[in-house]
Structure 1
Amino acid sequence: MPYDECYVKSVIRTVADWPEKGVMFRDITPIFKDPKALRMVTDDFIQRYIGTDITHIASIDARGFLISSIMAYHLNLPLVLVRKKGKLPGKTIQADYALEYGTATVEMQIDAVGPGDRVLIFDDLIATGGTILAASTLIKELGASVYEAAALIDLPDLEGSTRIQDAGIPVHTLLAYEGL
């Protein structure tokens, strides 16, 4: 099924003033109720990465898990998790980052990736880029390299994609929404 940007955008819901006043939240959860939209999105990402030398997909908490698990299954790759502080058992490493509306910390398990691994970072949305940059820091600290950062949605006005690219990480997104 070919990817149809207009169709997928029609499925995504915009929620004004959530989680804070002034934020236009792009809610992708309706995609999971729409098999056509979900197939379009996942098929497009799978086609992009099939045949690459990616060894792992690092997925960011939490909506990114849903799309990236489908990708990992079809690409026959390990899926490793980048989670909010305190959500992963065992030994972890952590990095702090700034959100568009606050600060947070993410963690990875210390055995998630290692030297020689080439990791695709996946998130549902790129806003300020802080989450992906923090994940990149963790991946590199564990000795692996970042192949690319991918997300369903980019919010270019918040310049996160630019920050990620300025850090030397290629970025791929399917959709962009102007404005905050």
Structure 2
Amino acid sequence: MKRLIASGVVVVAAIGLLALASYWTTSIHWDGGFPSGEFRLKVRTPEGKPVKGAALRVFRKNTREPAYKYPLENHMTERDLVSDETGRITAIREHGGLQFGGHAWQLFWVIPMGVQTGPRYDCEITAEGFQPLTFEVWQLFETGYESYKDFPKTTRVVDGKPTEFKVYEQTFALSR
């Protein structure tokens, strides 16, 4: 019996040491945030023509709960973001920088533990006569530009001061 207990203690200690070693070797503290900028969405028909009156809505991931004012500051309860006669929707994020973070590690180097990602949001573009188009908010922040100097820029007044913003442009084609 003593031998069985001793073996059990050794196994538990070995597993504990492996767990501790995996924590030490994989533990990270991370930070993240959505970039500031002006996000210009071009909404098009399958034939490439502009869609007037298309609405952009943002929801908390996998819900239909609207995410007003974050991550897009001009997505508000009192008005939808709607495309103009050229099919353009303009969304704004005035404040970039660090906005969230977490601590994560891999138990036994394979099992995710802790906060692995930042907040997640789904976007939806709807227009009469078209199927809704859904995508993750991160798609708005994708760009082919490699550095800040390559981006087109615009100036907006923020907190009473003119502020330069990068311009992100995306094209979305709706299906009938």
TM-score with structure 2 setting the length = 0.24
Task: Tell me: higher relative CO, structure 1 or 2? Use CA pairs within 8 A at least 6 residues apart.
Answer: 2
Report the structure, 1 or 2, having the larger helix content: 1
TM-score with structure 1 setting the length = 0.24
Report the structure, 1 or 2, having the larger strand content: 2
